[in-house]
Amino acid sequence: MSMTLERPRSAALEKLSDPKLFKEFSYINGEWCAADTGESLAVTDPGSGDFIGTVPALGTSESNRAIEAADAAFTEWSDRLPQDRAALLRRWFEQICINREDLALLMTLEQGKPLSEARGEIDYAAEFVEFYSEEAKRPNIEGITSHLPDGEVEVWREPLGVVALVTPWNFPSAMITRKAAAALAAGCTCVIHPSKETPFSATALAELAERAGIPAGVINVVTGEPAAVVEPWTQDTRVRGLSFTGSTQVGRLLYTQCAPTIKRLVLELGGHAPFIVYADADLDHAVNSAIAAKFATSGQDCLAANRIFIERPIYEAFAERFVAATRRLTVDHGLEDPDIGPLMNAAAVAKQEDHVRDALEKGAKLLCGGARSDLGPLFFQPTVLGDTPAHARIYQEETFGPVAALSAFDSEEDVIARANDSEYGLVAYLHTLNARRIYRATRQLDYGMVAVNRTKVTGAPIPFGGMKQSGIGREGARQGMEAFTEIKYVCRDYR
Ligand code: NAD
């Protein structure tokens, strides 16, 4: 933690066409505020190490003020006609679209991801706001054929209340809108804690929500050290639900903290995706898909292909093409729009080194890369390991970086068992042209999402989420909005 520093800032900030989108404050009850203590946190560009700016390090008292603001705003917001909430969400969506370039620039600066990917994430973030502006208008009352003589039976969905939204650094805009747009559409108000690595994407979204006319208190963004901000939210009975995206480790902690007040939970946690390629697959397509599934977001993606299993007859051919494609990937500062940018922090780079060293010690072969890049302290070379043994750490844990681990398999039974041998169950990828095998594997894979012969699975209309320790609940789609509602069953008799 540091006091506000007068130090040179990243020159890239001058490229913002609207500098007012760059907010170095938290946003509570419609006001931009500093910490009561005056303390702040510095944010740096992971690619260059340049200082970008600071955000306030808010503590318990400001965190409680955010709950008060959201609680005070709740009655008016939830009583509005759904089409009024829809219209405001639509205006927020338009503001995001108009400011796409600036939002992408801010994201690349603080997160490091290549500019094209940042633009893609802004589009993805906007998509949720548009989708839920429409979903807000759908009926929230369902009639049921009555089982009671003379009774009339209905199921109402009412907004949950104040909800806490906690988001990670790898998708600093989309993880906010995926939650906030659904919550607002349902009639909830929210307190948001963005990752301290990427707060400026969050404060820019709050600025645009304000410009769209979303009333004070409906959205609050509280920056700072996570435990200081979030723990009070987990304990407060006015906060009725918590939606968290991040690591399984922190998800477990928040689950425990929310237990005493029995909060509604949505947990979108880690992944450890298997990527299975059968000998009958379209080989070039499978290689291209595996490259995308492994190296998007520089490998820092909960959907990243962490274990690539290839049927033995095509193992050598796949490995050769995959290595050639990996060697072609460009690595640079995100603003240069390479294929791969820097990693988020030093711990992430150290993890790549550990996973590579451990796999090699256990018998894997280094097929390319394998070390830090000389571009800067947070860059790591795109790396491919071959013949990765099942007990290597990279086959047990999320790598969260640009290291791909290949191994061969001999039977369907063997590969499905290996794919399911994980505490995670977010997404599984499958490449084969055999329809019966697709059916069998899809049923047998213990994953919340199964992608067959394709990589992209995301989008606002689909229920995103995982099984096992990848989480609880779903985001996106109708289900993502229902997570922010409470069911009230009503039976009426007119005697
Ligand atoms: P993280 O768990 O360290 O942090 C996520 C959020 O939790 C951040 O806002 C952070 O400030 C907050 N946090 C951290 N410690 C906390 C504490 N003690 N109390 C309260 N809040 C706390 O995760 P990360 O490193 O930011 O993100 C990477 C992880 O997120 C990976 O495991 C990845 O798989 C997962 N992820 C999952 C999804 C999904 O939809 N399933 C999407 C993106 C990322």
Q: What is the pLDDT of residue 494?
A: 82
Which of the residues in the chain have pLDDT under 50?
1-2, 4-5
Of all protein residues, whose CA lies closest to atom 21 belonging to ligand 1? 226
ipTM: 0.95
Q: What is the pLDDT of residue 1?
A: 47
Rounded to two decimals, the pTM is 0.97
CA of 270 to the centre of ligand 1 (A): 8
The predicted-structure confidence for 449-494, as pLDDT tens digits, reads as follows 999 999 999 999 999 999 999 999 999 999 999 999 999 999 999 8
Edge-to-edge strand order for the sheet containing 264-268?
31-33, 26-28, 219-221, 189-193, 162-166, 239-245, 264-268, 471-472
Q: Which residue has the tokens 């928040």?
A: 254
Q: What is the pLDDT of residue 363?
A: 98
Q: For the domain 11-269+470-489, what is the CATH code?
A: 3.40.605.10
Q: Are 475 and 483 in contact (CB under 8 A)?
A: yes
Residue 213 burial (C-beta neighbours within 10 Å; 0-12, 13-18, 19+): exposed
Closest C-alpha among 61, 75, 69 to residue 27: 69
Domains of the chain, by residue range, sit at: 11-269+470-489, 273-459
Q: Which atom of ligand 1 is nearest to the CA of 230?
A: 20
Q: What is the pLDDT of residue 2?
A: 47
Position 412: which residue type? E
CA of 168 to the centre of ligand 1 (A): 4
**Helix, coil or strand: residue 114:** coil
Q: For the domain 273-459, what is the CATH code?
A: 3.40.309.10
- Count of residues for the chain? 495
268 part of the active site: yes
Tell me the helix, strand and coil percentages in the chain, rounded to 5. 40, 20, 35
Q: Which atom of ligand 1 is nearest to the CA of 302?
A: 34
302 part of the active site: yes
